[in-house]
Amino acid sequence: MSLTATDIRNLCLSALALGICALLPFGDNGYWLGLGVTIAMFTALATSWALFSGPTHYISLATAAFFGVGTYVTGLGIETLPFWALVILAGGIGAVLAALVGLATLRLSGVYFVIFTLGLAELVRQAITWVQNNSGQKGLYVLTDLDEAGIYWWLLGLTALVLLGGWMIGRSRLGFALRIIGDDETVAAHSGINTARAKVLLFMVPGAVAAMTGAILAPRYVYIEPSLAFAPILSFQVVIMALLGGASRLWGPLVGVIPFTFLLEAVSSNFPNQTTLVIGIAFLVIVYLLPKGFVGLLDAVLHRINKTGAV
Amino acid sequence: MDILITGILLGGTYALIAMGLNLQYGVARIMNLANGEILVAGGYFAFIAYTATQLSPILTIFLVAPLAFALNWLIYRVMLQPLVTRAKTRGQLETDSILATFGLSFIGVGLMLSFFGGDYFSYSFMAVPLELLGNTYGANRVISFVMAVLICGALYLWLNWSRPGLSIRAIATAPAAARLVGIDVKHLSALAFALGGAVTAVGGALISTYLTLDASTGVVFTLKALIIVIMGGVGDVRGTIVAALLLGILETVVASLLDPGLTLAAAYVMFLGILLFRPQGLFGKKPT
C-alpha cells in the first residue's frame, strides 16, 4: 500500500481530531458526555452501515438485531469473561450472523433483503423472549465498574477502527469490486467478480460493528430485557443518519449523525410523543430534498463555486 | 380440526390485506411499507363509527373503501409518481419508494398516536358463538372471512374479465409492452395503487372486529402481507390466497400449540424457507 502525502496528512489530521474528541470526559461528565456517547455510538453504527449500503444500495434494517445480540453477549458472559473478550466475541457472533443473513438474502433483489432485515430484530426478540419465559428468567443484570467515560472511550476506539477499516476497504480490491457492483451488477458479474461473495463479505462489517456497539453499551443499560435491546427504531435512526449525511463518502454519515442527534434530543425532550413523526419527515426529506445527503449538497455547491470562479 | 378452521378464518382476512399490497407492488411497482398504517386507519374508522353511531363494520367498509381509495390515489399522484418519473432504473425506484413509504408509515403512526393516543382499541361486535362442524367460533371471525372471500372473489373476477382488470394484469406482466398496445400505464398504475389501498383499509375494518389493534401495530401487518405476497408470487392472485391461508394456519398452529408470542417468528421461518428454496413464489416459474 503506497501512501501519498495527502493520505498521510489526512491520517494525521484524523488522528488529531480523534485525540481531541477523546478529551471530552475531562471537560464534562454529565449532559455533554452523555450526548458524546450517543454521537460516538451512532457514528460507529452509521459509518459501518454506509460502508455496505453506500456502494451496494441495499438498505439494511438489521442494525437493531445485531445490536441486541451484542448486548446479550455482554449480559450473559459478564460473570465469566473479561469485558474486552466479550466485545471481540460479540463482533465475531455478529459477523457470523450477518454472513448467514447475507447468504440467505443477498443473492436476491433488494426488496427481499429490506423485508428480511426489517423483521430480523423482531424474530430474534421473540425467540429470546420465548426462551426467557420458558426458563423463568426475566432479564439480565450487567454490573461492571465501567463508567460513562469508559464507555465513551471504548466507542471512540471502535469508531476509529471503523473509519480506518472503511478507508482500507475503499482502497482494496473488495472496495473496488463493490463500487462496480453498485454501478452495474451485470457488468460486475461479467468482469469476473463474485458479486454474492463480495456483498456477503462486506455485510459482515456492519453486523460485527453493531454487535460490538451493543456489547459496549450493555453496561450503560444495567438491566437488559429483549424489548430494550432489540428496539427496532435504532435501525431506522441509523439509516436516516447515514443517508442524511451521505453514504457516498466515508465521513458522510458523521455529517448526518451530529445534527440528527441534536434534533432528536431537542424533539424528545420538548415533544416526547412526536419522535415518530420526526423520523417519518426525515425519511421524506432524504428522498425528496436530499437524495445524496449533505455530502451531495456540499459537492453541488462546490461545483457551482468552481464553475463561477472559472468564468 | 379446530385449529385448521381458525387458521383458515384468519387466513381469509390476510388474503384480503395481501391482495391490496400485491396490487400496489405488482402493478404500480411500489413496495408500499405504509400498507399496515392504512390497515390500522381502516380499523380506527370502523371503531369510531361503531362506538359513536353503532354503525355495523359490515356497512362501514362501504365508507372506508372510497375514502381509502381517494387517499391512496392522492398519495400516489403527489408523492410516488415523481419518484417513478425520476427513477432511472428499477433498483433506484425500489430504494426510493421503500424510503418514502417508510417515511409515510412513520408519519401515519405519528399522526394516529397524536390523535388517538397509544392505547389498544377494540370493540365488541357480534361476539357471539357460532357452531361450525362441531366446534364454536366467534361470529365476527366468520363474517369477516365471508366478506373477505366475497371481496377477493369480486377482485379476481374483475381482474380476469373486465377490460381495466385485464389491462392492470397486462401492466403487471410487462409494463413496457402494455404501453405499446395503448394501455394508459400512468393512469392505471394510480388506479391499482388506490384500489390496493382501499382493499387493505377494508381488510383493516374487518380485522378490527375481532383483533385488538393500536396505532403502532401496522408494521406487523405490513410484514405479514409482504411475506404472503412474496410467498405467493408477485402479481399472482391464486398464489396470494394459498399463501395467506398457509400463513393463517401456521400462525394458529404455533399460537395454540407452542406460544402466541412466536407467531411472527414462525412466519419468518416460513419466509426464510421460501427465500432459500422458492424465491420466485409458490407457483412462480423459475426465471431462465
Residue B250 inside a domain? The answer is no
Residue A2, φ and ψ in degrees, nearest 5? -100, 130
Please spell the DSSP secondary structure of A23-37, one letter per residue.
THHHH-SSHHHHHHH
Q: Does B265 fall in a domain?
A: no
Give the distance from residue A162's alpha carbon to the nearest chain B alpha carbon, in angstroms.
25
Largest CA distance in chain B: 58
- A287 contacts B106? CB cut-off 8 A: no
Q: Which residues contact B266 (CB under 8 A, 6 or more apart)?
A: B250, B251, B254, B258
Alpha-carbon distance of B31 to B24, in angstroms, equals: 7
Q: What is the ipTM of this complex?
A: 0.81
Residue B162 lies in a domain: yes
List the domain range (segments joined by +) for residue A257: 5-310
CB under 8 Å to A59, separation ≥6 — which residues?
Answer: A53, A110, A113, A114, A117, A239, B95, B98, B99
What are the residue ranges of helices labelled H in chain A?
A: 5-21, 24-27, 31-56, 63-77, 83-105, 110-135, 148-171, 173-183, 185-190, 195-221, 226-229, 233-245, 252-270, 275-288, 293-310
The grid cell for B134 is 362441531
User: How far apart are alpha carbons A22 and A16 in whole angstroms?
Assistant: 10
Instruction: Tell me the residues of chain B between 21 and 80 that have a Cβ less than 8 Å away from chain A.
Output: 31, 79
Tally of structural domains, chain A? 1
Please indicate, yes or no, if residue B128 is contained in any of the structural domains: yes
Report pLDDT for A195. Answer: 80
pLDDT band at B288 (very low <50, low <70, confident <90, very high): very low
Check residue B50 and give its pLDDT: 83
Backbone angle region of A222, left / alpha / beta, with phi > 0 → left and psi within -120 to 50 → alpha:
left
CATH number for position A175: 1.10.3470
- State whether B110 and A59 contact (CB < 8 Å): no
Inter-chain CB proximity A286 and B98 less than 8 Å: no
At B79-113, the pLDDT tens digits run 888 888 887 777 778 888 888 888 999 898 888 88
Chain B residue whose CA is closest to A59: B95
Instruction: Determine whether the interchain pair B103/A243 forms a contact, defined as Cβ–Cβ distance below 8 Å.
Output: no
CB contact under 8 A, A284 and B109: no
Q: Quote the cell numbers at residue B269.
A: 421461518
Residue B287 pLDDT > 60, yes or no?
Answer: no
Distance from CA of B162 to the nearest CA of A (A): 31
Q: Tally the domains of chain B.
A: 1
A218 vs A212: CA distance, rounded Å: 10
pLDDT reported for residue A66: 92
pLDDT less than 70: residues of chain A: 1-2, 109, 136, 138, 309-311
Separation CA B228–CA B23 (nearest Å)? 13
Cell (9 digits) for A94: 455478529
**Is B2 within a domain?**
no
The predicted pLDDT at position B125 comes to: 67
User: Can you tell me which residue has the cell 454529565?
Assistant: A30
Select from B31, B95, B110 the Cβ nearest to the Cβ of A274.
B110
Report yes or no: B287 at the A interface, CB cutoff 8 Å.
no
The answer to whether the beta carbons of residues A47 and A163 sit under 8 Å apart is yes
**B86-93 contact pairs (CB < 8 A, 24+):** B90/B29, B91/A57, B91/A109, B91/A110, B92/A57, B93/B29
